[in-house]
Structure 1
């Protein structure tokens, strides 16, 4: 116990003498022993000497960013990049020169017995300027992907163009890499983190569309306003690619059936009565598409029947539409895209559902009729057959209720 007290007293005497001698002999302050900045021992160095040592050990270097044969160089001044050497030096000098004498004594005591004190050299840069540079690089690197294209002509011929992958600089990832590199004081060349962007419609998707899965035709009087509307609606609801699990909406495809879109006044059923309205006749187009979708094995999501039986299709197989109220919707259940094609001729419209021949199925549609006093009730079934035309399964698609005229 007496020995420990004696050691402390001796240390105190030595420190007091040392402080007095330092004040007499050294006008310039020096860093106390066993004080380190990072892993460099700064014992007895002046402020200028310490700064010089740090600048030599941690020089400011250019940041080179590489991608393929291109190189972008970020100079330290471009982003106000610096190491806080003066701040770290001041911390080292002031560590044993606080305003509290007892705290200074405690710290010096530990340093005298070889307990090291480490100070971190921090780095700083202007993140906004770095973001601006990265945005500029991104504009030079990024490239939009190109979707494959598919067009099927009225004669059934195919026109296809391949897809092309795009690329996109991963800006956040790059910022993080640069930030960590600067903070770790290890400046090296970086390869830009660039990822390929995949087209939503790829070449193989388009190539898989190679057969008709289902088609249906209806007839109409071409030389009427109604016939004109069928032409307009047939074209606007055609040439649509439906990806796997995607849902087709007839109303979305055509949009509002108004005069400004080329539609004319023609007979429509409103409240159970025939009257002239914009777009009369568009239901024949939706009905034709609906029957093609039935035969193609597509999943029927929404369908509605007319008030009365239609003259252009048998009962239970019509699909009335009214923009904002009734729609025809069906989903693509296959793992390949399908292509909806309407061919409108003089007096007939044919809807064809193209897809992958591997998705083709043997399907027919049957209906059951029930006649009541004021209503005709028709149930519509879709029947699936095997290669030997034996029934595999049957599903109820809809139950339609018609008023008797």
Structure 2
């Protein structure tokens, strides 16, 4: 029993000793663990410090680099600005630039303008014609030298592009020069209007010579006109201005000759031919139309080469133009219509033109024969296009004169005595074989010499006359 207790005590003691040993080991292990943890913390802190130190060093290095770059940039910028403000953008015109041969390098634009304005002053514009002077004031037409523009261009040569363009232009002037010339500018429309005002005082229309034959030949003399050629005058002005000449500019006046000259009307000195028809049996309406058309186609001077058109002178032969209703042949029938009787006037003039030697351009016979002229010697006209025309092929003018007396119409053509011809009219006519009552005809003009011998036979016209339909 005692031994058992002794063993229990021993075991208990051993257990306590083992427990104490284990606790001691655990304590030592904890101490070791704590020490190791402290070492780790110290190592971590140490590494953190190293990293911080390295970052600071890198940051300082970066800051030094940035500072250096900024410093360089500032230095370069200051240098460029100093260069720009000293040489390029210094308020003065760049080197090697000339205006009108004068060096303006290094000068301020305002100083250049002042000097050029003293040298180049605009004066009154002076024109001359027939020893008379015509003046236009500069301010009236906005006339001035473009000095401001040219100086600004010279100054802006190294200033108005991109920066690099300005630098390029500046350095390019080292090996080359820029030459500028001033010009005179003005408002061209205003200048033209001022010259047109002068033209109104100088322009003169030509005056044709006239002739009137009424029992005797009466003439008036011709006079030539003048007209200011505005475009040529402006061209001379531009040339003078471009050459910077201060001179009186001659007005370019052009002679305008009269179409009908004194010698033309004075060459009409004789009667070439005349022809008379009667309208005694005509009623008042037809007589009115004959007299009206005769008057309109009278007192006409036909110049060499000109063509007489009957319709052009009479116009539309309708009631609106004062023609009355009278018998007229329409489609082979005798009907009443405005203008009846005007063909008697055209036929009378036709016969006179034939006998005087005029060149017959266009003539058409009526569809039926007439009583007031022989067969083949009539000339019908109408508003639908049938016209009677003849041409003056002489070297002198001819004058057409119609007179009405006691219901007799006479047409006389006057001209130069050297153009007078000996002419007969021959009409060949035969019955048309295939048509009852129809007559075919051919009209010829026969030229004869002074002894009456035929020298020429000229075909004029031909056609057919038929009976009037009822």
TM over 0.5: yes
**Structure 1 runs not aligned, ≥5 long:** 1-15
Is 2:465 aligned against 1:402? yes
For the Cα contact (< 8 Å) 1:376–1:404, is it kept in 2?
no
For the Cα contact (< 8 Å) 1:162–1:202, is it kept in 2?
yes
Change (3 A) 1:279 1:35: same
For the Cα contact (< 8 Å) 1:298–1:332, is it kept in 2?
yes
TM-score normalized with structure 2 length: 0.76
Q: Deviations over 1:196-249 (max 9, x none)?
A: 211121111111111222211122316732334322222221111112222111
Is 2:358 aligned against 1:303? no
Output the CA distance in 1 between the equivalents of 2:163 and 2:89.
Answer: 20
Output the CA distance in 2 between the equivalents of 1:298 and 1:280.
Answer: 26
Over the residues paired in the alignment, what is the CA RMSD in angstroms? 2.7
Output the CA distance in 1 between the equivalents of 2:348 and 2:102.
Answer: 83
Match of 2:154 among 92, 98, 105: 92
Answer with 1 or 2: which has the greater Rg. 2
Output the CA distance in 2 between the equivalents of 1:169 and 1:241.
Answer: 30
**Which residue number corresponds to residue 416 of structure 2?**
356
Is 2:278 aligned against 1:215? no
**Which residue number corresponds to residue 37 of structure 1?**
99
Output the CA distance in 2 between the equivalents of 1:263 and 1:103.
Answer: 85
Residue 388 (structure 1) shift = 3.5
Change (3 A) 1:281 1:28: same
Residue 364 of structure 2 aligns to a residue in which SS?
coil
Q: As a proportion of its length, which structure holds more helix?
A: 2
Change (3 A) 1:326 1:94: closer
Residue 399 (structure 1) shift = 0.6
Output the CA distance in 2 between the equivalents of 1:88 and 1:319.
Answer: 77
Residue 373 of structure 2 aligns to a residue in which SS?
coil
Bigger relative contact order (CA 8 A; separation at least 6)? 1
**Which residue number corresponds to residue 313 of structure 1?**
373
Change (3 A) 1:274 1:100: closer
For the Cα contact (< 8 Å) 1:247–1:332, is it kept in 2?
yes
Is 2:330 aligned against 1:270? yes
State how 1:176-195 maps to structure 2 within 5 Å.
Answer: 176-195=235-254
Change (3 A) 1:215 1:101: same
Residue 182 of structure 1 aligns to a residue in which SS?
helix
Is 2:117 aligned against 1:51? no
Output the CA distance in 2 between the equivalents of 1:47 and 1:356.
Answer: 79
Output the CA distance in 1 between the equivalents of 2:303 and 2:146.
Answer: 56
**Which residue number corresponds to residue 139 of structure 1?**
200
Output the CA distance in 1 between the equivalents of 2:138 and 2:314.
Answer: 57
Match of 1:376 among 439, 442, 446: 439
Residue 145 (structure 1) shift = 1.5
Q: Deviations over 1:23-77 (max 9, x none)?
A: 4699963223321113222232221221123213321111111122432211221
Output the CA distance in 2 between the equivalents of 1:212 and 1:17.
Answer: 106
Change (3 A) 1:108 1:400: same
Match of 2:393 among 333, 338, 348: 333
Residue 349 of structure 2 aligns to a residue in which SS?
helix
Count, aligned residues: 387
Match of 2:258 among 187, 190, 199: 199
Residue 152 (structure 1) shift = 0.9
**Which residue number corresponds to residue 25 of structure 2?**
none
Change (3 A) 1:27 1:284: closer
For the Cα contact (< 8 Å) 2:305–2:393, is it kept in 1?
yes
For the Cα contact (< 8 Å) 1:248–1:330, is it kept in 2?
yes
Change (3 A) 1:343 1:246: same
Match of 2:220 among 161, 180, 188: 161
Output the CA distance in 1 between the equivalents of 2:428 and 2:177.
Answer: 94
**Which residue number corresponds to residue 404 of structure 2?**
344
TM-score normalized with structure 1 length: 0.87
Q: Deviations over 1:118-141 (max 9, x none)?
A: 123233211222122112111111
**Which residue number corresponds to residue 3 of structure 1?**
none
Output the CA distance in 1 between the equivalents of 2:186 and 2:328.
Answer: 70
For the Cα contact (< 8 Å) 2:347–2:380, is it kept in 1?
yes
Q: Deviations over 1:255-303 (max 9, x none)?
A: 2334565544332222322233333222221111000001111111211
**Which residue number corresponds to residue 453 of structure 2?**
390
**Structure 2 runs not aligned, ≥5 long:** 1-77
